[in-house]
Amino acid sequence: MTDMSQIDDQTAAYVIDIGGYFEDLRLVTAQLAGLLVLAAAGANDAAPDHPLLATAEQLFHDAVDGIRHARVTPRARQHHDCLLAAIAAVRQALDAAHTDLGRQSAHVDRDPILTPLRAGYAHLQRAADALPGFEMIAFDRGCCARSESSVTSSTDRGVVR
């Protein structure tokens, strides 16, 4: 990671301006992961009308608007590109959550939500590594981590790890 002394003034302004939007996007991934935990635990209220999903949507829209209107410097380009990739993946996860949450089958496939969610989080991690001032928590140690055997079988199906 680069320290702030190696960042020009315009890039430092970008870091300051984009920080809240980055955090909002990270929070959306955490909220979706929480909904997946509820769904996996069989909670009846883990459905498309859950208030947490509405909150995640609002945070997502606010973050997207801020990120898309950011003044991106050449030094911040990689970070911003990672954020745009995260936006696309998280949008896909949100869309899948609206479709798949609340299905009452014990065998509902959560991969349409989890796969893009994990990809979005990975893009956020790459963004955090690209510039100073962005912190991430290890997703592989969180509630949505898979055992190595299920990761192996998922990668055989082309799932992004």
What is the pLDDT, as a whole number, of residue 125? Answer: 96
Which of the four pLDDT bands, split at 50, 70 and 90, describes residue 40?
confident
Each residue's pLDDT tens digit, 102-141: 665 555 678 899 999 999 999 999 999 999 989 876 555 5
Is 161 part of a structural domain of the chain? no
pLDDT average, residue stretch 57-83: 97
Residue 46 inside a domain? The answer is: yes
Is 61 inside a domain boundary?
Answer: yes
**Overall average pLDDT of the 71-100 stretch:** 96
- pLDDT above 70 covers what percent of the chain? 75
When divided into structural domains, the chain yields a total of 1
pLDDT at 136: 79
Q: Look up the domain containing 85 and give its range.
A: 4-156
Total count of residues recorded for the chain:
161
The reply to whether 72 falls in a domain is: yes
Amino acid 150: pLDDT = 44
Separation of alpha carbons 11 and 29, rounded Å = 25
> Is the distance from CB of 85 to CB of 130 less than 8 angstroms?
no
- Is residue 29 within 8 A of residue 113, CB to CB? The reply is no
Q: Say what angle helices 111-130 and 9-40 make with each other, to 10 degrees.
A: 160
Q: How far is CA 123 from the centre of its chain?
A: 8
Residue 132 within a domain: yes
pLDDT at res. 130: 95
pLDDT digit string (tens) for 11-39?
999 999 999 999 999 999 999 998 888 87
pLDDT at 152: 41
